Amino acid sequence: MRVVTFYHSLVSDWNNGNAHFLRGVAAELIARGIDVTNYESRDAWSVQNLIAEQGEKPLEDFHKAYPSLNCVRYDANTLDLEEALSEADLVLVHEWNDPELVYLIGQHRSFAADPYVLLFHDTHHGAVTDWQRLAAYDLTSYDGVLAFGAVIRDLYLRKGWTGRAWTWHEAADTRVFHPLPSAGREGDLVWIGNWGDEERAAELHEFLLEPVQRLGLKARVYGVRYPEEALAALERAGIEYAGWLPNYQVPAVLARFRLTIHVPRRPYVERLPGIPTIRPFEALACGIPLVCSPWRDTERLFTTGQDFLVANDGDEMQRHLQALLEDEPRARELAQHGLKTVRARHSCAHRVNELLSIYSETANVERELALMA
Q: Which helix (H) or strand (E) is 94 found in, with range?
A: strand 90-94
Residue 335, helix vs strand vs coil: helix
pLDDT at 106: 97
Is the CB of residue 14 less than 8 Å from the CB of residue 35? Answer: no
Q: What is the mean pLDDT of residues 184-194?
A: 96
Instruction: Give the percent of the chain with pLDDT over 90.
Output: 88
Query: What residue type is 183 in one-letter code?
Result: A
Q: What is the pLDDT of residues 333-345, one digit of tens each?
A: 999 999 999 999 9
Q: How far apart are CA 240 and CA 326, in angstroms?
A: 22
Q: What is the pLDDT of residues 195-236, one digit of tens each?
A: 976 789 999 999 999 999 999 999 999 999 999 999 999 999
- pLDDT band at 369, cuts 50/70/90? low
- pLDDT at residue 371 tops 80: no
Q: How far apart are CA 121 and CA 372, in angstroms?
A: 28
Q: What is the mean pLDDT of residues 274-282?
A: 94
- pLDDT at residue 129 tops 90: no
Q: What is the mean pLDDT of residues 99-126?
A: 93
Is the CB of residue 76 less than 8 Å from the CB of residue 41? Answer: yes
Q: What is the pLDDT of residues 292-329, one digit of tens each?
A: 999 999 999 999 999 999 999 999 999 999 999 999 99
pLDDT at 136: 87
This prediction has a pTM of: 0.95
Alpha-carbon distances, residue 256 vs 138, 240, 259 (angstroms) = 47, 14, 9
Residue 188, helix vs strand vs coil: strand
pLDDT at 367: 64
pLDDT at 324: 98
Counting Cα atoms < 13 Å in the Cβ hemisphere of 223 gives 20
Q: How far apart are CA 230 and CA 251, in angstroms?
A: 25
Residues present in the chain in total: 373
At CB < 8 A and 24+ separation, what contacts does 363-368 make? 363/89, 363/117, 365/143, 366/115, 366/117, 366/143
Q: Is 372 exposed, middle or buried (0-12, 13-18, 19+ CB in 10 A)?
A: exposed
Non-local (6+) Cβ contacts of 190 within 8 A are: 219, 220, 221, 222, 253, 254, 256, 257, 260
Q: How far apart are CA 289 and CA 60, in angstroms?
A: 33
Q: What is the pLDDT of residues 29-84, one digit of tens each?
A: 999 999 999 999 999 999 999 999 999 999 999 999 999 999 999 999 999 999 99
Sign of CA dihedral 295, 185, 249, 26: negative
- pLDDT band at 253, cuts 50/70/90? very high
Q: How far apart are CA 148 and CA 94, in angstroms?
A: 12
Q: What is the mean pLDDT of residues 342-354?
A: 98
Give which of 352, 361, 356 is closest to 170, Cα–Cα. 352
Is the CB of residue 339 less than 8 Å from the CB of residue 287? Answer: yes
Q: How far apart are CA 367 and CA 369, in angstroms?
A: 5
Q: What 8-state DSSP symbol labels residue 116?
A: P
